[in-house]
């Protein structure tokens, strides 16, 4: 009986296994480190509760700075195929620390709940709740006072005219959908619970996908099948688009039936892709579709030669990673 109970139900390498006894084993992204003051950059971090009801939390980062100048805000969503990692995972903690130091901005790194325990679209909804929580700190909101829902670093230090959504991989997917949800153009915010304009969006190696292979996917069936499996594992039941879950608008923003890119609720976008990344061509396809849409913003595309998916997480001190961080910081401070 013991061997039967440990039989694997889902094996989704390299991330996760689910056994028939409903045990979930995460193979990556489970390490955590506490918030701290970084001894090199001086960036300070702390953990906050966004929603006691759902348990959503965030790690907030503040740069070492002594002026009274209000700072840009980066609302960051980590990657991990919606099934692993957190803001406290050492690689993500260090990556956001570097971005905050380079850009001299505040960051709220959102700890959205993971699949399969919390099926999609939970991650998207949790992330939107984080936007609402941030918005509550604007004067007149529920977090603008001194109550338990108030966060001083956001209330006192943030310039709400300089709010950016950012994420890598699956986190970039979340950022895109929140920008669509928040507004139909840079000057219209139809959701009354998000009271700031999103000034820009940073998509790092975005996790977009689709049923029919494009670009290098056509000659790399092994990695195509691997990424297919990632999405099929987390895709919401009943969200099948035609013949394939792989064309669900949650993962394929350019498929017929996906929300119109003209409704992207920000005026500026920067997209980074990596030359060796199987997701590279999807990032370029998103860029092309955005340029051809009726969106009235500016989009910048950056390709990193010789690198693979989220290389900057694994080699943060490499020259290319550091140059990319400088590029993103420049985008934030333009």
Strand, coil or helix: 100: helix
Length of the chain: 334
Task: Give the residue from 108, 100, 145, 115 showing the smallest Cα distance to 129.
Answer: 108
Q: Across the strands, what pairs with 11?
A: 17
Give me the residues paired with residue 18 across strands.
Answer: 10, 24
Separation in Å, CA 312 to CA 81, 90, 94, 185, 319: 17, 13, 10, 31, 10
SS3 (DSSP) at 233: helix
Query: Among this protein's residues, is 169 annotated catalytic?
Result: yes
Q: Which one is catalytic: 101, 109, 169, 274?
A: 169
Say how many C-beta atoms besides its own lie within 10 A of residue 152's C-beta. Answer: 11
C-alpha distance from residue 324 to each of 191, 304, 310, 314 (Å): 33, 8, 11, 14
**How is residue 105 written in tokens?**
């901005």
Helix locations, the chain, DSSP H: 2-5, 90-103, 122-135, 152-157, 170-182, 221-234, 280-292, 311-314, 319-333
Mind telling me the catalytic residues?
Answer: 169
């Amino acid at each position: 009986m013991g061997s039967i109970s440990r039989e694997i139900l889902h094996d989704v390498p390299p991330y996760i296994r689910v056994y028939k006894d409903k045990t979930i084993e995460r193979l990556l992204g489970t390490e955590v480190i506490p918030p701290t003051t970084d001894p090199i950059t001086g960036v300070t971090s702390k953990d906050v509760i966004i929603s006691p009801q759902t348990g959503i939390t965030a790690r907030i980062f503040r740069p070492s700075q002594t002026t009274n100048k209000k700072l840009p805000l980066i609302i960051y969503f980590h990657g991990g195929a919606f099934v692993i990692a957190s803001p406290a995972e050492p690689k993500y903690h260090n990556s956001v620390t570097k971005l905050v130091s380079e850009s001299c901005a505040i960051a709220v790194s959102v700890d959205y709940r993971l699949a399969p325990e919390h099926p999609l679209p939970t991650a998207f909804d949790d992330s939107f709740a984080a936007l609402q929580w941030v918005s509550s700190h604007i004067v007149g909101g529920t977090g603008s006072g001194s109550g338990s829902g108030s966060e001083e670093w956001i209330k006192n230090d943030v310039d709400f005219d300089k709010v950016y959504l950012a994420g890598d991989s699956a986190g970039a997917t979340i950022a895109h959908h929140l920008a669509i949800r928040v507004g139909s153009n840079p000057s219209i915010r139809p959701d009354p619970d998000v009271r700031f304009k999103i000034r820009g969006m940073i998509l790092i190696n975005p996790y977009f996908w689709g049923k029919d292979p494009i670009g290098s996917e056509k000659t790399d069936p092994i990695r195509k099948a691997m990424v297919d499996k990632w999405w099929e594992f987390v895709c919401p039941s009943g969200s099948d688009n035609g013949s394939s879950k792989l064309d669900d608008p949650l993962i394929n923003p350019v498929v017929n039936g996906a929300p119109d890119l003209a409704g992207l609720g920000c005026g500026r976008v920067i997209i980074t892709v990596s030359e060796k990344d199987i997701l590279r061509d999807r990032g370029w396809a998103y860029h092309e579709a955005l340029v051809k849409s009726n969106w009235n913003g500016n989009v910048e595309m950056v390709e990193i030669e010789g690198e693979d998916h989220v290389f900057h997480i694994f080699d943060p001190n490499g020259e290319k990673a550091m140059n990319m961080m400088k590029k993103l910081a420049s985008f934030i401070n333009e």
